Amino acid sequence: MSGCPVAPPTQRFAQRMTQCVLRGYSVLAFTFLLLPIAIIIPMSFSNQPYLGFPPPGWTLHWYEAVRDQPRWLAATINSFCIGIPTALLAVVFGTLAALGMARGDVRFRKFLLLMVMAPMMLPHVIIAIGLYPTLVDMRLHDSYAAVIVGHTVIGIPLVFITVTASLRSYPASLDLAARTLGAGAWKAFRRVTLPMIWVGIVSGGLLAFATSFDELMLALFLTSPGTETLPRLIWDQLSFALTPALAAVATLILILSMLLQGLAVYLGVRRSVAKRAMP
């Protein structure tokens, strides 16, 4: 727009119209995407014993029900006990893979890249079918380890992507400079590479945690009653009682997800501000 300050009035009118239409279209699209999520919140305060919209009256009863039902609390703790180790493992393996692929002298790079990214493209049910009998054989199917292994597999590509992006955001000669200046491989990583890529590592870890926290398919196969996660419990409850308690749980998960998202975005913004200061 600023590129053509002397555009004739008709052209300016056309431009403005186009902009209005585009803006309207974007608003509609976002509404369509977000409305189902937004509807969950009022439904969780409904005074009816079933899920419905709009609710005729309001109550906090369903939140109390969730609080008083120990199964929900146990599932929440399970989700954290699975999500946190998953995020840590995915960070270790994903970061190592990204470093190797970005900086290392790797043969068959394209093939390896495909292998690292495969868990993101593959349907989770296929990963689950593959893991289930193996973990049963190893007598791990009743433990946290089973689902942590599964979730780590799908978390690695997420960390790989964010860390690779960080590694590409600065020239490799920075790492080489550290080496010539007397830092061994590990010291160069700790003193130079890590400060350059920690935002990528943390965002990747948050993504891996959030994915594990939301994931249902692997959880169906790989958790037992003792290790069931929140999504799995929601799924079980759905099949016999569609009460607003489910909406209450969903609302709580939504708030947590948004906090994590906000944190990741905040880190990303801080980094891009820092980068703008560094031409």
Q: Which residues bind other proteins (CB under 8 A)?
A: 170-171, 173-174, 176-185, 187-188, 191-192, 195-196, 277-279
- Amino acid at position 199, single letter: V
Using CB atoms within 10 Å of the CB of residue 79, give its burial: 0 to 12 exposed, 13 to 18 middle, 19+ buried: buried
DSSP letter at 107 equals S
Q: Between residues 198 and 235, which has the closer beta carbon with respect to other proteins?
A: 198
Q: Between residues 201 and 246, which has the closer beta carbon with respect to other proteins?
A: 201
Q: Locate tokens 């791990």: which residue?
A: 140
Measure the CA angle with vertex 11, ends 8 and 15; round to 5°. Answer: 135
Q: Between residues 67 and 179, which has the closer beta carbon with respect to other proteins?
A: 179
For residue 108, the minimal CB distance to other proteins (Å) is: 13
Q: Between residues 56 and 279, which has the closer beta carbon with respect to other proteins?
A: 279
Residue closest to 100 by CA, chosen among 150, 163, 176, 170:
163
Rounded CA separation 214/83 (Å): 9
Residue closest to 109 by CA, chosen among 188, 119, 123, 117:
117
Q: Between residues 20 and 185, which has the closer beta carbon with respect to other proteins?
A: 185
Rounded CA separation 256/268 (Å): 19
For residue 177, the minimal CB distance to other proteins (Å) is: 4
For residue 187, the minimal CB distance to other proteins (Å) is: 7
For residue 200, the minimal CB distance to other proteins (Å) is: 15
For residue 189, the minimal CB distance to other proteins (Å) is: 12
